[in-house]
Structure 1
Amino acid sequence: MQKYFSVLILLLTISFLTASNGNVEKDPPKKKKQFVVMIDPGHGGGDTGTPGTGRYKTTEKDVALDVSLALGKMLEKIPNVKVVYTRTRDTYPTLQQRAIVTNKKKADLFISIHCNAQPGRNGKKFGTTAYGSETFVLGLSKNKANLEVAKRENSVILLEDNYEETYGGFDPNSPESLISLILMQEEYLDQSIEIASYIQKEFKVTAKRKDRGVKQAGFWVLSKTYMPSVLVELGFLTHKKEEDFLNSKKGKKIMTQSLYNAIKKYISLHADTSSEIVINHEEQVTPRVYNGVTFKVQLSASSKKIPTKSYNFKGLKEISREKAGSIYRYFYGKTSDYEEIKRKKQEAIRKGYSDCYVVAYKKGKKVSLTEVLKQ
């Protein structure tokens, strides 16, 4: 009898444990971090921006706000994307306030939207021949036209009281002041150029606008935002046909669609760079090898030449360095297996390189990751 009860108790215990294990709830998967896009409608309030030809009551600030709000509504429909604005009404946030709120929101991408103006000559208020769209990233430029655009956009600083104290003596008309801005954004320069190139391609292909290219100039607001950042000039309000286009519903819709297409493409490639992803190293992942292609994880970019020792890169090994102009780029890993490089990217993120991303090379030359993965 005692043996019978012992067996019965054992069976009941096994049954209970089996049932319990079946009801144990697994930890929910960690959610990906939202990809935050900060949209900055240029100017606002008493700062109208360029008035254009004067044929419209609206000015640069109005066109920029209309396109910005329409763009935000479209982007908000993308899963896991959050949109924030520096302004949603006809108000004027200072350049400093725009930068502060962007950094506070921990944005992953900063887009400042503007309209252009051609400086006048021989006593005229403005020129009427320049037209087309262009996108700026932060950088030095000896091009006079680029410097003039930067001076015009930076000059709103002069409208503020105590601007010299607020902006640390920055003079929007001084080339020396512009030089001091550059070092702050160089870590994000590659990604800024990437999104700028997507935008310009869309302006050319989708909006059928004249492509004035990706350019570099010293914009104060770009220098103080610690993420990939661009300043978009939709077109010239001093050019009558372009002014008509940008003030029309159709024109605004086309420009908004172009910006949306470009940003959506960028998000699709970079949205997981700051996600909270936990990698199970015991899980077997099928290799995805691309013959003739080398993948690397770009960690950072700097004007400083840093020894590629693990202690300089938070313990990561397999560090390589590449020079492009005056900028050194630093990479982690080197493989033709895309699954392997994704694993290394997550390892780099856990080490603190939240903005790292995968790049691809063919025959020693950098190529589009998107095009490689389509193969």
Structure 2
Amino acid sequence: MTAPGRPAPVDPLDPIGIEDLLGSDEKAVRDAVRQLCARLIDPYVATWFEEGGLPSIRDLAKELGSLGLLGMHLQGYGCAGMSAVDYGLACLELEASDSGIRSLVSVQGSLAMFAIWKHGTKEQKQEWLPRMAAGEAIGCFGLTEPDHGSDPGAMRTRARRDGDDWILDGRKMWITNGSVADVAVVWANTDEGIRGFVVPTGTPGFSAPVIKHKLSLRASITSELVLDGVRLPADAAFPEVRGLRGPLSCLNEARYGIVWGAMGAARSAFAAALEYAGQRTQFGRPIAAFQLTQAKLAGMAAELATGQLLALHLGRRKDAGTVRPHEISMGKLNNVGKALEICRVARTVLGANGISLEFPVIRHMTNLESVLTYEGTPEMHTLVVGQALTGHAAFR
């Protein structure tokens, strides 16, 4: 207990009191996710990263599902129906463990499940969403192609009608969960414009070879999707949505989670640097006592607090139904860039130990190099914000 008249001690991980802005239910969600990560992820994730995989993904998906984390911001069909801030806090804690784990949850809930929930038929929703929410079925989201990332409208994957069926041909690249997925949401060009399809991965002609030799997001499964004459019934297509507004609506959901998640990776790196600086002794005293180290720690703390406030502000606006796409773009642009800076500075505080997997810093730093460019490169988000500010589209 703090003595009367004496201020409470400063929490180095929350020096400006952001905790006071959270409700008790929100803190409970955050704490539950943090405890799950401490039990099921943190003791093993450095090994998963070093070995390059996620061997327990199905068991982990079920654990995440049992806590209500898969599609947690969706309503009905076994989904938890939690708030945007709840979802953001969960993403922060998951990415404090590893970006690959947050990606697993984001792709499942904000891409594959959200696409079916938002655009699917009642039958598609009933078939897939309850199992996906429970972690009993894993989904992936096929939009990016080998030659088309920032320009998805130029995709080459094609769906053509054959009687009452659809035939899909094409390739998708850098697909999280692809080789372990039970269902893929695939976007393809048709004579009617871009359409989305719900593709059971056991369908003949569908394959998902694993992408190897990654030096980022190694505790995550990344695949190519190959569609060679995949025949689907007419009701596999999303019935109404046409054009890029379908996939882009899903990407905006995932980008929102990244705004929070990046701050989780940054917090983990900052915490490691702060602890190390207090223990590492040089010239007869801990390096935390030197001015240049304190300048690094103070700068990291300021950027971390700013990013967390931005994420919380966007979450409150999302819950109020007032957030706009360019605001999410600004959040991703700022927070991922600042998280990378925090990791790089933290690496210098740890010196040579900063490149060791005994500490989380280099793992977060290399992961964030992927987070920086997926779900929209910084260049694309810069132009989204620029268009909002000026009224001029500068994409071409």
Name the TM-score class by shorter chain.
under 0.3
Tell me which protein shows more strand as a share of its residues.
1
TM-score, normalisation: structure 1: 0.27
The structure with the larger Rg is 1
TM-score calculated relative to the size of structure 2? 0.26
Q: Which structure shows the bigger proportion of residues in helix conformation?
A: 2
